[in-house]
Chain A
Amino acid sequence: MSTTIVEQLKTIIAEELDVNLKAEEIDEHVPLFEGGLGFDSIATVELIALLERHFGIEFSDAELSPETFSNLTVLADFIDKKMNSPSITVV
C-alpha cells in the first residue's frame, strides 16, 4: 500500500530536495541521516515542508521524531496512516 508513497518520497527527494541524490540511488531501508542518506537539519526542515505540501498533512512536534524519520519505508507507512486518519496524533 505505501510502496507508491515510497516511490513518491524518492521522487520528492530527488527532484525537490537539495541533496544531490537520484531517485534510483535512494535506498528506502537506510537511515535518512548520517550513515544513510546524510540529510542535515536544513534538508530535514525542507523535507518536512515538502511532505506537508505534497501529501496535505501536518506534523505535530511530537511526530517530528527520529523514529518517524528512521527510513523511507517507516516514513511512508506513517504518511499513509496519517492520510487515512487525519486526526491521528502521536503523543
Chain B
Amino acid sequence: MFFVQDTSCLSSQEKNVITDGQFTCPYSKILGVFEYIRSLFEERKIDITDCVALECDNSVLNVLVLLFLLENGYRFLLLSKGVQSAQSMMSVPPSIPSFCRYRIRVESLNDNGKGSGLEHLDRILLISANEQWVDCEAARGILYLQTSGSTGVPKIVVHSHAKLRENALNCVQRFGLSYEDRVTIPVPIYHMYGLGAALLPSLAVGASIDLQKGTNLLRYLQREREFESNVAFVTPAFCETLAKGRKSPRLYKLTVAAGDRIREDTFSRYEAKCGCLVKLYGSTEMGAIAAGSPDEAMEIRLQQVGLPMSGVQIRVEPSATVSPNPLLDYSQKMGELWCYHPAGFNGYVDRAGLPIQSHPDFQEYWFRTKDLGQLEPDGRLTVLGRCDRSVNRDGLLVPFCEVEQAIETLAGIESVIVEAQGESPRGKGLVAYCVLTQETTLSEVEIRNICFNILPKYAIPDRVVILNAFPLLQNGKVDRQKLISMTAADAMNLARG
C-alpha cells in the first residue's frame, strides 16, 4: 500500500479499527472492501482515467472509498456532502465541476444498519453520472480540493497523491504518531486539515481512528469514553468548549489545534485539563506548513506555531505599511508570509479542469499565504492573523488581531472580532464585535472608553457592538461577511473618533 505505511496492521490478527460510532471496520478488512469497490467500479465502467467527485463526510465508508481512490491512483475531487437547508432538513447536493465524470456519494447508515454496513455497500454507495461532464485530460494520481472560501469564492486546488503522502508523513514525524495511538477526528476530512494532517497520517501508521461528524460536547465525551482516544485534532473553538465543559482532567498524549487563532488563556486552560496541545499552521494549497511538537516546552508551544515542516522555506515580505509601534509591540520582522513547500500543491484549475496559469499568489513555487507573521531567531514561526485583517489608520498599520488581543484581556470580555467598516477620520473605520462573559454588565460605550487606556489612539475601534454570539460558517470559523452585514446598515454612523 502507498498510503498505509505499516501494512502489518492489515493482517487478520490485528485489532486496530476505523470507526464512526455506527460502523467499525478493522484494518484487516480494508482490502476486502477494496475488492468490493473495485468490482462496483468495473460494473459501472468507471475507468482509471475518469475523474470522480467524492461527496464526503466523516464516516468509515467514506474513508474507505477515499483510501481506495488514493491507493489506486484515481483522479478525484473531494468535497463536502452539501449544506443542510434549514427549511426541509434535506441535504442539498453540492454542484460539481464539469471535469468530474461521476459523482460518488455514501449514504449515511440509519440505525438499522448498525453493526453491518459492508453487506449493504451496494445500497449505500451511490454512483451517478455527471450530466454536465466535459472531458478534460489530466494526469492520474491527482486530488482536487476546494478551499473553504471563508475569504471569498472557493478555488480548486490540485495536489498530487505523492506529495499528499509526503505531507502526511511530515505530520506523522512532527506529532510522533504511532500504531499504538487512538486518534479522534471531529474536523471534516474533506478539508486539508482533517485529511492531510489528521486522517492520512493516522492511516499511514495504522492507528485506530474515531471519526466524528457534527459533534458536540456531550457526544464527544461519550465517544471518548467508548473509544479511549489519546490523540485529537480539533479547532480552537472546540478547545474552548472542552476546556470549559469538561469537569475533571483527562490527559491526552496530544491534541492538535488548527484553523484559527487560539487564545492564550484557552491554551493554558485546555492544557491543564486535556494535556499537551500543539498548533498547526497550514493551508489547502500547502498542507501542513509548520507545527508544534509534543517534545517542546509549553511556553514555546503557547507562543509560537513551531518549526516549519521538512524542506519548507518561509519568506517574510516586510509590508511597506508596517511601522514599528512600541505600544502594540510588533517588530519590523513582521510581514506577509510566503511559503515554498516541496510537498505543496501543483496549482489551481478552473471549473473546466484547465490550469489557471500565473496566479498572482503562486509564483515560481512560492505561495503567498496572505497571513501576517514572523520568524523567530530559532527558526520557529509565529502567525498573527490574516494580512487583509489589518488597515492603515493615521498612516500606521493596525492588525485586527492586535486590537482583539488587547480587548480580550479586559474582564468581562469573552471574545472579540475586529473588522473594518466604513470610514473614520483616521482612515478605515474599525468595529469591535464583542461577546461578553455571563453576568457582565459592560456597555458598548464603557468598553470603548476602556480602550482609550489600553490601545493607542489610532487603534481604538470607532464603534463597539455587543453580540450574544458570532455567526459561524459550516466549518466552525466565524462568518465575517455575515458579521459585517449585521451592522452594515448603520455603518454610516461610524465616524465618532
Establish whether residues A45 and B241, one from each chain, have CB atoms under 8 Å apart when the complex forms: yes
Partner of B248, one of A35, A39, A41, A60: A60
A48 at interface, CB cutoff 8 A? yes
Establish whether residues A61 and B241, one from each chain, have CB atoms under 8 Å apart when the complex forms: no
Establish whether residues B248 and A61, one from each chain, have CB atoms under 8 Å apart when the complex forms: yes
Given the complex of chains A and B, what is the CA–CA distance between A20 and B246 in angstroms? 25
- The residues in B between 212 and 255 inclusive whose CB is less than 8 angstroms from any CB of A are 214-219, 221-222, 225, 238, 241, 244-248, 250
B88 at interface, CB cutoff 8 A? no
Q: How far is the CB of A62 from chain B (nearest CB, A)?
A: 7
Establish whether residues B469 and A48, one from each chain, have CB atoms under 8 Å apart when the complex forms: no
Given the complex of chains A and B, what is the CA–CA distance between A85 and B334 in angstroms? 59
Q: In the complex, which residues of chain A have a beta carbon less than 8 angstroms from the beta carbon of B248?
A: 60-61
Partner of A60, one of B222, B247, B468: B247
B356 at interface, CB cutoff 8 A? no
Q: In the complex, which residues of chain B have a beta carbon less than 8 angstroms from the beta carbon of A84?
A: none
Establish whether residues A18 and B222, one from each chain, have CB atoms under 8 Å apart when the complex forms: no
Given contacts A18-B469, A64-B221, contact A44 B247 (CB under 8 A): no
Q: How far is the CB of A51 from chain B (nearest CB, A)?
A: 12
Q: How far is the CB of B91 from chain A (nearest CB, A)?
A: 12
Q: In the complex, which residues of chain B have a beta carbon less than 8 angstroms from the beta carbon of A34?
A: 214
Given contacts A41-B216, A44-B245, contact A65 B89 (CB under 8 A): no
Q: How far is the CB of B172 from chain A (nearest CB, A)?
A: 29
Chain A residue nearest to B224 (CB atoms) is: A61
Given the complex of chains A and B, what is the CA–CA distance between A66 and B241 in angstroms? 16
Q: How far is the CB of A44 from chain B (nearest CB, A)?
A: 5
Establish whether residues A64 and B217, one from each chain, have CB atoms under 8 Å apart when the complex forms: yes
Contact mask for chain A residues 17-37; partner B; CB cutoff 8 A; 1 contact, 0 none:
010000000000000011100
Given the complex of chains A and B, what is the CA–CA distance between A61 and B215 in angstroms? 16
Q: How far is the CB of B46 from chain A (nearest CB, A)?
A: 34
Establish whether residues A40 and B247, one from each chain, have CB atoms under 8 Å apart when the complex forms: no
Given the complex of chains A and B, what is the CA–CA distance between A61 and B250 in angstroms? 10
Establish whether residues A18 and B468, one from each chain, have CB atoms under 8 Å apart when the complex forms: yes
Establish whether residues B218 and A64, one from each chain, have CB atoms under 8 Å apart when the complex forms: yes
- The residues in B between 465 and 494 inclusive whose CB is less than 8 angstroms from any CB of A are 468-469
Given the complex of chains A and B, what is the CA–CA distance between A25 and B89 in angstroms? 19
Establish whether residues B225 and A62, one from each chain, have CB atoms under 8 Å apart when the complex forms: yes
Establish whether residues A41 and B247, one from each chain, have CB atoms under 8 Å apart when the complex forms: no
Given contacts A18-B468, A33-B216, contact A41 B245 (CB under 8 A): yes
Establish whether residues B217 and A45, one from each chain, have CB atoms under 8 Å apart when the complex forms: yes
Partner of A69, one of B215, B218, B238, B246: B218
A59 at interface, CB cutoff 8 A? yes
Given the complex of chains A and B, what is the CA–CA distance between A39 and B469 in angstroms? 13
Q: How far is the CB of B438 from chain A (nearest CB, A)?
A: 8
Q: In the complex, which residues of chain B have a beta carbon less than 8 angstroms from the beta carbon of A35?
A: 89
Given the complex of chains A and B, what is the CA–CA distance between A48 and B218 in angstroms? 11
Establish whether residues B214 and A41, one from each chain, have CB atoms under 8 Å apart when the complex forms: no
Partner of A41, one of B238, B250, B438: B238
Given the complex of chains A and B, what is the CA–CA distance between A58 and B247 in angstroms? 9
Chain B residue nearest to A18 (CB atoms) is: B468
Establish whether residues A64 and B468, one from each chain, have CB atoms under 8 Å apart when the complex forms: no
Establish whether residues A64 and B216, one from each chain, have CB atoms under 8 Å apart when the complex forms: no
Interface centre among A58, A60, A62 (most CB of B within 10 A): A62
Partner of A45, one of B215, B219, B245, B250: B245
Q: In the complex, which residues of chain B have a beta carbon less than 8 angstroms from the beta carbon of A33?
A: 216
Q: In the complex, which residues of chain B have a beta carbon less than 8 angstroms from the beta carbon of A66?
A: 218-219, 222
Partner of A64, one of B215, B245, B250: B245
Establish whether residues A61 and B214, one from each chain, have CB atoms under 8 Å apart when the complex forms: no
Chain A residue nearest to B472 (CB atoms) is: A40
A1 at interface, CB cutoff 8 A? no
Q: In the complex, which residues of chain A have a beta carbon less than 8 angstroms from the beta carbon of B244?
A: 45
Establish whether residues B216 and A44, one from each chain, have CB atoms under 8 Å apart when the complex forms: yes
Contact mask for chain B residues 183-224; partner A; CB cutoff 8 A; 1 contact, 0 none:
000000000000000000000000000000011111101100
Given contacts A60-B247, A61-B250, contact A40 B222 (CB under 8 A): no
Partner of B246, one of A44, A46, A61, A65: A61
A88 at interface, CB cutoff 8 A? no
- The residues in B between 412 and 458 inclusive whose CB is less than 8 angstroms from any CB of A are 438
Given contacts A61-B221, A64-B217, A65-B218, contact A41 B246 (CB under 8 A): no
Given the complex of chains A and B, what is the CA–CA distance between A43 and B374 in angstroms? 36
Chain B residue nearest to A69 (CB atoms) is: B218
Given the complex of chains A and B, what is the CA–CA distance between A44 and B220 in angstroms? 12
Sorted nearest first, the 7 A-B pairs with minimum C-beta distance are A18-B468, A45-B245, A41-B241, A41-B216, A61-B247, A41-B217, A66-B218
Can you list 18 residue pairs at the A/B interface with Cβ under 8 Å? A18-B469, A33-B216, A41-B238, A44-B216, A44-B218, A45-B217, A49-B438, A59-B247, A61-B221, A61-B246, A61-B247, A61-B250, A64-B218, A64-B245, A64-B247, A65-B222, A66-B218, A66-B222
Query: A41-B238, A48-B245, A61-B248 known; 13 other A-B pairs, CB under 8 Å?
Result: A18-B468, A34-B214, A39-B216, A41-B245, A44-B217, A45-B217, A46-B438, A61-B246, A64-B221, A64-B245, A65-B218, A66-B222, A68-B218
